[in-house]
A and B are shown apart, each in its own frame.
Chain A
Amino acid sequence: MPELTGWAVVVALLAATVGVITASDKSRSRWGWLLLCLFVPPALIVLFFLPALKLYGPGEQPWRRWVFFRVPISAFVLVLLFPFYWMIITTVRPDKELYRPWQAPNYAPFWTAHPTLDHIRDLLTTTLFSTWMLNTMLISLAATAISLFCGLLAGYALSRLKFPFAGSIGTGIFITYLVPQTLLFIPLSDIIRNFKLGDSPWALILTYPTFLIPFCTWLLMGYFKSIPKELEECARIDGAPRWKAMLYIIFPVAIPGILSAGIFAFTLSWNEFIYALVFLASPDQKTVPVGVTSELVRGDVFYWGELMAGALLGSIPVAFVYSFFVEYYVSGITGSVKG
């Protein structure tokens, strides 16, 4: 086996090199891409998976630990987090340093000797950034509240009650869960115009639930199913009508699930871009992602300092919510892909 593995690595690396060269060629050779996809992943598998797997057992040699665990995971963390570092460093870097070409001898990318808050000040005083933050917050909270309300009720009904068409409604909601926003934004923009909702927060507060409700319903259905049905049966025998058993017994027990769904829905609304881009026009109605994109880029001029400051500040609320509820967020992710 070892010889075979060695050959596989060599072939894959060769193919990958050829692939990279041809794929980046201006003629855009499709063969290059094909080679790249077919051979790079197997090469990665052979190079790293196999040794990584052996790490389960005890008695691991230190060099193996370095090569197959510490170095790769550090590389992952570095690559995954570097853009955020770059965001921060750009925000506090004075313009003079910022617009210095990378070939310049005094280009010092990873630190700055003269940190400044000018960009943040400019962002908050000369642009409508604080208005966008407020808009986004309002819209996200409202959309999340509506979606949680609907998702809770629908999730309960679909997981607990027997009624006609329950199966097809469940499937329908699952399908809408998969519908991407980009499928419907054009007809929706027409409808929003017809409903006279254009350019107001309501356009988003009412349309965000279209992708949040299916998600919340799906997540909460899974959560409700994990709650023993005897709990509410017992409540009903104890003298509670169905709706009270739902409200006083099932919903309180489902609080972790509700939190997961709520946090996830909040970050999804904060992230949303295309609806906000299409439905909103006035600068003072925009959300953070759209405002940053359209108002901080004038013509071909990018105000990178303000842009990065905006990206940084715009990320803080989600990062803040996330940092407090990491576990709920993670269970939201895993719940969202459960079949």
Chain B
Amino acid sequence: MARVAMRSLNKKYDEVHAVIDVNLDIRDQEFVVLVGPSGCGKTTTLRMVAGLESITSGHISIDDKIVNELPPMDRDIAMVFQNYALYPHMTVYDNMAFGLKMRKFDRAEIGKRVQEAADILGIGQLLRRKPRQLSGGQRQRVALGRAIVRHPQVFLFDEPLSNLDAKLRVQMRVELKKLHERLGTTAIYVTHDQVEAMTLGDRVVVRKDGRVQQVGDPMELYNQPANRFVAGFIGSPAMNFVGVRLAAENGSLWAENPGMRIQVPAPLKERLGPYAGREATLGVRPEDLRIAGAGDPGELTFPAAVEVVERLGSEILLDVAVGETTMVASVEPTAPAKVHETLRLAVNPDRVHFFDNETEAAI
């Protein structure tokens, strides 16, 4: 059980500044997910926590002990790698026992712990096998088992599910979540998959180009993205972004472009006031658009020409042309939508976002 803290953490390679001024406090028992596109420095951060990469500047502490100079073997952490890194010449049992042997546990204790971990993960019958005789899912479990036998202070996960097929991935995701609830060990989890981040994380750290973009619990990221990048990264299908011009008229504020004209909802009006007469970006999620009904006020609807209809069963995705831009709308499966038809879409006024064009920050 441990708290992990990063203070102005930096990592520079010869040319690349991979991690820039990261500050992060991870609470005891918390499951924190680092998410971002490749090259955002998330794996480098994790490896610095593990002690596999040197720290250029700043520090990392585990339970208020600064561990910058501590070699990985003395940090009391466990890591699950993307390719599992199972020792190919050892049996599953020896793989799981290796860490305990290195820490000079006695045989009986090692046997007990391996058995416990194997029971938890349901791999008791595989203990005598070699890694190459295991399926992908089984290898994944062994890699997890190897981490949990040690009862480490912190678990580190480096994209552990990305080598599994889609179905197994969902299944293992659930098991990971259960496992964390049962063990309560502090965990740092790196992924590029926002769905994994949202489902697993107590808190999610969104990264881009070495910098932290936003830290928060999953719904916070979804509801109040701090900037355009986070807004576009979290949620699937991704948020629609439309360039608009803000115009003040008769005491109300309008967002307009050649295809649409929408009244800015009252709660946002105040913050958007200074932008009157300037350009900004309007963001609205596909699930916050719907086909306009009779009751929808005209100032929150706009015409849209349907270009593609994707029927997913539980919903329909409409690719529509709005003026010069295209948007995606997610509508209920029974909606009467046809290609080449023009219909009116309504916006959920509580769920529109505006972003500054220069800083890309949410307004």
Q: Which residues of A contact B (CB under 8 A)?
A: 228, 230-231, 233-242, 244, 248-249, 252-253, 255
Contact = CB atoms under 8 A, between A and B. Distances in A.
B55 interface: no
Contacts of A236: 51-52, 71-73
B81 A234 contact: yes
Nearest to B152: A237
Contacts of B73: 236-241
Contact of B98 (A228, A233, A238, A253): A238
Contacts, number: 64
Complex A-B, nearest 9 residue pairs according to Cβ-Cβ distance, in ascending order: A238-B99, A230-B85, A239-B102, A234-B85, A236-B72, A230-B81, A252-B89, A239-B73, A240-B102
B149 to A, nearest CB: 10
B99 A239 contact: yes
A76 B85 CA distance: 46
Contact of A233 (B75, B85, B102, B146): B85
Contacts of B83: 228, 230
A249 B95 CA distance: 10
Given A231-B87, A236-B71, A242-B71, 7 more contacts: A231-B85, A234-B87, A235-B87, A236-B52, A239-B73, A241-B71, A253-B88
Most A CB contacts (10 A, CB to CB) among B72, B74, B77, B78 go to: B72
Most A CB contacts (10 A, CB to CB) among B74, B85, B88 go to: B85
Given A231-B87, A253-B88, A238 B102 contact: yes
Interface of B: 50-52, 71-75, 77-79, 81-83, 85, 87-89, 98-99, 102-103, 146, 150, 156
Contact of B89 (A234, A237, A242, A253): A253
Given A239-B73, A240-B73, A233 B88 contact: no
Nearest to B104: A239
A143 B190 CA distance: 48
Nearest to A230: B85
B104 to A, nearest CB: 9
A241 B75 CA distance: 12
B252 to A, nearest CB: 58
A238 B150 contact: yes
B308 to A, nearest CB: 42
A331 B87 CA distance: 23
29 contacts: A228-B83, A230-B81, A230-B82, A230-B83, A231-B85, A231-B87, A233-B50, A233-B52, A233-B72, A233-B79, A233-B81, A234-B85, A235-B87, A235-B102, A236-B73, A237-B50, A237-B52, A237-B75, A237-B79, A238-B102, A239-B74, A239-B102, A239-B103, A240-B98, A240-B102, A241-B73, A248-B98, A253-B89, A255-B89
A160 to B, nearest CB: 12
B344 to A, nearest CB: 54
A18 B82 CA distance: 66
